[in-house]
Amino acid sequence: WRMFDLLGRPWSLNDVCCYVPAWFGAAASAFTALLAHEGMYQVSGGSGATLVAAGAIMAILPAHAKRSVGGGFDNESVAMTPMCAAFYFWARCLRGPSAWPFAALAGVAYACMAASWGGYVFVINVIGLHVASLLFLGYDPHKLHRAYTTFFVIGTACAMRVPVVGWTPLTSLEQLGPLAVCILLQGLAVARLLGASRLRGAGQNVFTVYVLAGVGVVAVALLIPTG
């Protein structure tokens, strides 16, 4: 709104609010296209056709179109963009050993969604589940540790600054899983420093299961009394 005034093309606040869903809808479609492109990167180095098709499909989805119509301002109109951005930056940070800093952008996007809509819990749970799945499939815990810790710390710290969120990310049963995954990765990092990184294959998977189960039991025991 103020930017238009600085550019010498004043808009009323009402006009800006009416256009916000359309602007954010276009941005959400763009991030969805980038996410699809990133998903194909490991297979074929990326696909222009995939990028265009994913963006086009997202743009015409009825559920998305309902939230991106000019004048139909709602929380979801804004929240879809940071949600898609968080998923894209998370996928991007796993591309290679030097790509983990993109996790910081994923954390910022997650915090923006927390500030715009209560559905932010979906983002943190999906990414936490993705990390847990990669661990069980044998993905290098060291790479996941850097990326997920960066994402979780930045995203949670910023989300906790939102008044309606507060300490919820650390005390809610709905977000227990992502917190347990973060603690698990810290445990694996400590074990790696102590020499337990020699474990391979099935041995490492068994160790991961036991640590995750232990963290889950302790967390549930501590959080159930608080509701």
What pLDDT sits at residue 42? 67
Please report, to the nearest 10 degrees, the dihedral formed by the alpha carbons of residues 48, 28, 60, 66 taken in order. 180
Q: How far is Cα 164 from Cα 176, in angstroms, rounded to an integer?
A: 18
What pLDDT sits at residue 202? 46
Q: Encode pLDDT of 208-226 as tens digits.
A: 555 555 555 555 544 544 4
**Whole-model pTM over 0.85:** no
Q: Encode pLDDT of 53-69 as tens digits.
A: 888 888 888 877 777 77
For CA atoms 163, 128, 151, 79, give the dihedral sign: negative
Neighbours of 86 (CB within 10 A): 28
In the predicted structure, residue 165 carries a pLDDT above the cut 60: yes
Please report, to the nearest 10 degrees, the dihedral formed by the alpha carbons of residues 177, 182, 99, 49 taken in order. 0
Which among 160, 55, 45, 140 has a CA at the least distance from the CA of 100?
140
Mean pLDDT to the nearest integer, 154-162 = 90
